[in-house]
């Protein structure tokens, strides 16, 4: 309606435009000398003088018309000199028509050319007054200011200036005020709407959508935590309102109807999902449980129970912890809260509960520590429906023979192959014996997320992944397999019979590494048979083959509403390379080399610096080659676990554990001193150089995240190693014998002088960086899944 009125106004002025063009041009040329004082006086008097107000309106309309003319050149500027200095007065005028026209001129100028956009953005007072106009009690002024902010945000400079001037906070405040107070503005009715419709409500929803579009544009292009500048009360209210709109866009049933607002949004649902993610990812989320609570529900009430597990079972042997999750009042509370997340009476209800309304959780690279880079990569994916194969799998295995080999015909059958994934089809598959496996429960349930976060803290790892498995009666989901991570299987509902190998198929396999064929025979001597009931927890180390199937007992079913099917969680502790002992050794080498460079920074002789860089790189590669064959290097480094932080002098609980950690470090250092080979590492480099492909060395990329100490000379670019490897190969290819002697001396000095405590400090700093990014991801995804 307002747009059509403006068009009619333009049409009425069309006849006089040719008459005013020449006078306008002459007026522009004498603006500073003649017009500027007159306009300044009129702006000062403002709404108090009808004549002054009329003069300003006519002048602003003429400026708006002039800007509407297409520019003759990219650098053309239709605004008269000195006009920007008047804008702060005009934007804050008590005459609504003058303030609104001024904002419209700002918006038109911001879109006219990049030069004009930059000129406006660089004028702090203009931007400040434009944002202040958002708080006007006039609907027309607030709307014009909001449109102008949208126009100014079309350039990077404009967005930065608006964010620095607290435009995001002002827009969110305005949105909350208009949304919560229907009569906040006397919104004019749209004359083109039928009389029977609520025209004021129609215009209000359009205005709300405009405010939201402007706010999302600024929030989603911000590479910093914009939520820090928003008050907690405002942020909480905004997130609640945005989540309500988000649920409505996704087609979920809500007590309020935002259909009109949704239809007016220029941004897509992906933009809204990103906004919610960004506003949520750094919020303080009070955890209902900590690592002590989780330790108690899994291992018992004593620290020594956890120490015993770490020293005797961790990464070494399977273990059943029967009923441990309900062995105390606190543990029973945690267990009950997780069960409460599901409806145990009907399997269909559980399927609806765990699958309805879910969005995909795009995987984040293990070495990605900048959440903004991740958000840029998934810009058009965030908020999309779940993806079969990535988020959820529906599968079954026909044979139930214990530990049967793949050679005997045990095969997994996936229900969804070419058909699109739907919940009704998923329910049908469940009735046909298929297991539903959903990954990323720590991103979809607050209760599960709290347990995962506490367990990661307990083991000193960046994060813990949680999957949920819902299996029908007398069925097997996954075929016999082993994992590249340790898992705690927590039986929530029903029972499951497990068969676990007593010997590892692969000794401490690397995360994301290739898995071997099982080739296991049905042999009770080589496997453990166990029945896991509600509340039981089964620990399976990485590399140990296992399989499970549901069982049904008529007598048991009388005491449990869920005895005919099984629901269990798997809490996966994925030990990434930086947090293995191999990674700790790389960190120790990095710290030692940094210390050497710092102590010798006064040396300018390149003959000293270059071999240091080359030998450091060679030693990194040589350590990796040893770790490929020595499983001790692939064990989890536990120096950041809660067990390591116990007060040994007072409690005397973790002394054996800390001693074992230091002993492991001495073991790997001795192995490096004895077994690191220049020849093997150099051959690896030679192959990379010949093929001109450094993909086999991408595992080193995480080293770029180690803390810097200010010595930047001769840094290794771990994202682009080919150049330095070519230099290394050229430097030593014709003097191998001399290089071996120098390398052995370099290696010996490292093994002799490396300091365990310095490596521990850098290890913990790196761990906190990883944890920060994982927690940001978790909080953002939880907000997109939070149920209203």
Q: For 740-778, how does the pLDDT look when each residue is reduced to its tens digit (9 = 90+)?
A: 999 999 999 999 999 999 999 999 999 999 999 999 999
> CB burial class (10 A; 0-12, 13-18, 19+) of residue 326?
middle
In-domain check, residue 99:
yes
Give CA–CA dist 515/171, Å, rounded. Answer: 52
Q: CA triplet 466, 471, 477: central angle to 5 degrees?
A: 80
Give CA–CA dist 161/178, Å, rounded. Answer: 25
pLDDT at 113: 85
Q: What is the pLDDT of residues 409-462, one digit of tens each?
A: 578 899 988 778 899 999 999 999 999 999 999 999 999 999 999 999 999 999
Give CA–CA dist 721/273, Å, rounded. Answer: 37
Confidence of residue 585 (pLDDT cuts 50, 70, 90): very high
**Is residue 30 over pLDDT 80?**
no
**Is residue 582 over pLDDT 70?**
yes
Whether the CB-CB separation of 601 and 709 falls below 8 Å is answered with no
Q: Domain limits at 31?
A: 1-165
As given in the structure block, the two tokens for residue 157 are 């400079």
Domain boundary among 259, 280, 301: 280
pLDDT at 89: 85
As given in the structure block, the two tokens for residue 300 are 């018992």
- Where is pLDDT greater, at 324 or 625? 625
In-domain check, residue 81:
yes
Least confident of 40-49, 214-223, 255-264, 690-699: 255-264
pLDDT at 238: 94
Least confident of 85-94, 149-158, 468-477, 639-648: 639-648
Of the candidates 371, 369, 421, 372, which has an alpha carbon nearest to the alpha carbon of residue 395?
A: 421
Total domains, the chain: 4
Percent of the chain with pLDDT over 90: 51
Percent helix, percent strand, percent coil in the chain, to nearest 5: 60, 10, 35
pLDDT at 552: 67
Q: What is the pLDDT of residues 110-138, one digit of tens each?
A: 998 888 899 899 999 999 999 999 999 88
- Residue 383: other Cβ atoms inside 10 A: 21
As given in the structure block, the two tokens for residue 297 are 């529900």
Give CA–CA dist 472/477, Å, rounded. Answer: 9
Give CA–CA dist 88/434, Å, rounded. Answer: 67
pLDDT at 23: 39
Residues 145 and 173 in one domain: no
Whether the CB-CB separation of 28 and 67 falls below 8 Å is answered with no
Percent of the chain with pLDDT over 70: 80
Strand ranges of the sheet holding 465-471, from the earlier edge strand across to the other edge: 319-321, 537-540, 486-493, 566-573, 465-471, 435-438, 392-397, 412-414
As given in the structure block, the two tokens for residue 313 are 């079972």
**Is residue 49 over pLDDT 80?**
no
As given in the structure block, the two tokens for residue 286 are 């009070």
Give first-to-last CA distance, the chain, whole Å: 35
Residues 270 and 313 in one domain: no
In-domain check, residue 785:
no
Average pLDDT for the chain:
83
Alpha helices for 541-580 (secondary structure H):
554-557
Give CA–CA dist 283/292, Å, rounded. Answer: 23
**Is residue 788 over pLDDT 70?**
no
Domain boundary among 108, 142, 165: 165
pLDDT at 733: 87
Mean pLDDT of 488-502: 94
CATH number, domain with residue 330: 2.60.120.650
- Where is pLDDT greater, at 304 or 466? 466
| Cα atoms in the Cβ-side hemisphere of radius 13 Å centred on 756 | 14
Least confident of 71-85, 306-320, 368-382, 711-725: 71-85
pLDDT at 244: 87
Whether the CB-CB separation of 46 and 98 falls below 8 Å is answered with yes
Residues 178 and 31 in one domain: no
Whether the CB-CB separation of 480 and 547 falls below 8 Å is answered with yes
In-domain check, residue 763:
no
Q: CA triplet 109, 112, 116: central angle to 5 degrees?
A: 60
In DSSP terms, 776 is beta-bridged to: none
In-domain check, residue 478:
yes
Least confident of 61-75, 413-427, 690-704: 61-75
pLDDT at 258: 54
Estimate to the nearest angstrom the gap between the alpha carbon of 260 and the chain centroid.
Answer: 31
Residues 189 and 95 in one domain: no
Q: What is the pLDDT of residues 240-296, one digit of tens each?
A: 999 988 888 776 544 444 556 666 777 778 899 999 999 999 988 888 889 999 998
Cα distances from 698 to residues 617, 671, 722, in angstroms, run: 13, 24, 11
Of the candidates 112, 101, 38, 110, which has an alpha carbon nearest to the alpha carbon of residue 75?
A: 112
Residues 305 and 350 in one domain: yes
Question: Residue 204: which residues within 8 A CB-CB, separation 6 or more?
Answer: 178, 182, 185, 187
Residues 605 and 592 in one domain: yes
3-state secondary structure of 471: strand
Confidence of residue 180 (pLDDT cuts 50, 70, 90): confident
**Is residue 563 over pLDDT 60?**
no
Paired sense of beta strands 537-540 and 319-321, if any = antiparallel
Residues 159 and 181 in one domain: no
Alpha helices for 483-580 (secondary structure H):
554-557
Residue with tokens 């120096």: 639
Confidence of residue 28 (pLDDT cuts 50, 70, 90): very low
In DSSP terms, 488 is beta-bridged to: 539, 571
Tally of helices (H runs) and strands (E runs) in the chain: 30, 11
In DSSP terms, 549 is beta-bridged to: 476, 497
3-state secondary structure of 80: coil
Give CA–CA dist 664/440, Å, rounded. Answer: 33
- Where is pLDDT greater, at 658 or 670? 670
Of these ranges, 35-49, 416-430, 605-619, the one predicted with the greatest mean pLDDT is: 416-430
Residues 250 and 187 in one domain: yes
Whether the CB-CB separation of 365 and 774 falls below 8 Å is answered with no
- Where is pLDDT greater, at 625 or 191? 625
**Is residue 33 over pLDDT 60?**
no
Question: Residue 172: which residues within 8 A CB-CB, separation 6 or more?
Answer: 215, 230, 234, 238
Residues 104 and 239 in one domain: no
In-domain check, residue 285:
no
Estimate to the nearest angstrom the gap between the alpha carbon of 686 and the chain centroid.
Answer: 38
Residues 316 and 417 in one domain: yes
pLDDT at 575: 96
3-state secondary structure of 547: strand
Confidence of residue 53 (pLDDT cuts 50, 70, 90): confident
**Is residue 404 over pLDDT 50?**
no
- Residue 223: other Cβ atoms inside 10 A: 13
As given in the structure block, the two tokens for residue 762 are 């850098």
Residues 501 and 588 in one domain: no
Give CA–CA dist 340/357, Å, rounded. Answer: 18
Residues 205 and 96 in one domain: no
Whether the CB-CB separation of 156 and 223 falls below 8 Å is answered with no
In-domain check, residue 286:
no
As given in the structure block, the two tokens for residue 467 are 């999957």
pTM of the full structure:
0.88
- Residue 627: other Cβ atoms inside 10 A: 23
pLDDT at 432: 93
**Which secondary structure element, helix H or strand E, spans residue 393, and what is its range?**
strand 392-397
In-domain check, residue 771:
no
Domain boundary among 539, 559, 575: 575
Whether the CB-CB separation of 36 and 81 falls below 8 Å is answered with no
Confidence of residue 407 (pLDDT cuts 50, 70, 90): very low
Confidence of residue 66 (pLDDT cuts 50, 70, 90): confident
Mean pLDDT of 96-123: 90
What is the DSSP code string of 632-670? GGGSBP-TTSGGGGS-HHHH--SHHHHHHHHHHHHHHHH
For the four alpha carbons of 190, 262, 109 and 15, in that order, the dihedral sign comes to negative
């Amino acid at each position: 309606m307002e747009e059509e009125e403006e068009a009619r106004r333009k049409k009425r002025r069309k006849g006089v435009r040719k008459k005013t063009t020449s006078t306008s041009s002459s007026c522009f040329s004498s603006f500073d000398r003649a017009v500027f004082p007159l306009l300044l006086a009129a702006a000062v008097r403002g709404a108090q003088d009808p004549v002054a107000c009329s003069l300003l309106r006519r002048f602003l309309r003429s400026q708006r018309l002039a800007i509407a003319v297409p520019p003759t050149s990219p650098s053309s500027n239709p605004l008269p000199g000195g006009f920007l200095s008047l804008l702060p007065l005009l934007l804050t005028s008590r005459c609504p028509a003058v303030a609104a026209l001024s904002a419209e001129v700002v918006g038109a100028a911001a879109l006219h050319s990049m030069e004009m956009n930059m000129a406006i953005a660089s004028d702090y007072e203009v931007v400040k007054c434009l944002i202040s106009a958002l708080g006007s009690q006039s609907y027309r002024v607030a709307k014009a200011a909001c449109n102008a902010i949208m126009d100014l945000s079309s350039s990077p400079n404009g967005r930065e200036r608006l964010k620095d001037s607290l435009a995001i906070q002002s827009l969110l405040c305005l949105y909350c005020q208009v949304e919560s107070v229907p009569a906040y503005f006397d919104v004019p009715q749209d004359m083109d709407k039928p009389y029977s419709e609520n025209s004021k409500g129609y215009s209000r929803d359009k205005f709300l959508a405009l405010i939201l579009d402007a706010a999302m544009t600024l929030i989603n292009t911000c590479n910093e935590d914009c939520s820090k500048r928003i008050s907690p009360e405002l942020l909480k209210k905004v997130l609640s309102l945005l989540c309500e709109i988000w649920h409505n866009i996704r087609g979920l049933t809500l007590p309020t109807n935002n259909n009109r607002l949704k239809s007016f949004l220029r941004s897509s649902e992906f933009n809204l999902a990103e906004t919610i993610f960004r506003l949520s990812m750094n919020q303080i989320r009070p955890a209902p449980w900590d690592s002590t609570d989780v330790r108690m529900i899994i291992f018992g009430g004593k620290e020594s129970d956890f120490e015993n597990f770490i020293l005797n079972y961790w990464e070494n042997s399977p273990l059943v912890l029967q009923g441990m999750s309900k062995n105390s009042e606190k543990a029973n509370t945690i267990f009950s809260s997780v069960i409460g997340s599901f409806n145990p009476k009907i399997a269909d209800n559980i399927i609806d509960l765990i699958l309805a309304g879910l969005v995909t959780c795009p995987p984040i690279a293990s070495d990605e520590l900048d959440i903004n880079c991740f958000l840029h990569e998934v810009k058009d994916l965030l908020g999309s429906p779940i993806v079969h194969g990535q988020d959820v799998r529906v599968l079954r295995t026909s044979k139930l023979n214990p530990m049967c080999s793949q050679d005997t015909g045990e095969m997994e059958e996936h229900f969804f192959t070419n058909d699109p994934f739907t919940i009704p089809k998923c329910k049908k598959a469940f009735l046909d014996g298929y297991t539903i496996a959903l990954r990323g429960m720590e991103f979809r349930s607050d209760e599960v997320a709290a347990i995962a976060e506490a367990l990661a803290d307990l083991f000193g790892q960046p994060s813990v992944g949680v999957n949920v498995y819902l299996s029908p009666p007398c069925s097997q989901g996954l075929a016999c397999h082993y994992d590249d991570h340790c898992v705690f299987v927590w039986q929530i509902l029903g029972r499951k019979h497990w068969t676990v190998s007593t010997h590892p198929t692969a000794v401490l396999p690397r995360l994301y590494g290739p898995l071997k064929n099982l080739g296991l025979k049905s042999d009770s001597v080589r496997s453990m048979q166990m029945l896991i009931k509600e509340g039981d927890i089964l620990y399976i180390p990485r590399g140990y083959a296992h399989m499970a199937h549901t069982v049904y007992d008529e007598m048991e079913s009388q005491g449990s509403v869920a005895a005919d099917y099984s629901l269990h969680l798997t809490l996966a502790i994925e030990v990434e390379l930086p947090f293995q002992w191999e990674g700790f050794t790389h960190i120790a080498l990095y710290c030692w080399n940094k210390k050497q460079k710092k102590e010798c920074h006064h040396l300018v002789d390149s003959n000293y610096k270059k071999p240091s860089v080359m030998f450091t790189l060679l030693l990194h590669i040589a350590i990796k080659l040893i770790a490929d064959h020595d499983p001790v290097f692939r064990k989890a480094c536990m120096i950041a676990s809660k067990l390591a932080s116990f007060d040994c002098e007072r409690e005397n609980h973790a002394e054996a554990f800390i001693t074992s950690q230091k002993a492991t470090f001495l073991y790997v250092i001795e192995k490096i001193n004895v077994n690191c080979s220049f020849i093997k590492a150099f051959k690896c480099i030679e192959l990379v150089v010949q093929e001109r492909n450094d993909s086999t060395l991408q595992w080193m990329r995480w080293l770029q995240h180690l803390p810097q100490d200010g010595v930047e000379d001769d840094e290794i670019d771990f994202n682009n190693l080919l150049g330095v490897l070519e230099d290394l190969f050229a430097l030593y290819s014709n003097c191998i014998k001399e290089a071996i002697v120098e390398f052995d001396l370099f290696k010996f000095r490292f093994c002799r002088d490396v300091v365990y405590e310095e490596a521990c400090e850098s290890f913990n700093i790196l761990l906190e960086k990883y944890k920060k990014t994982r927690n940001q991801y978790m909080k953002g995804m939880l907000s997109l899944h939070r149920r209203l």
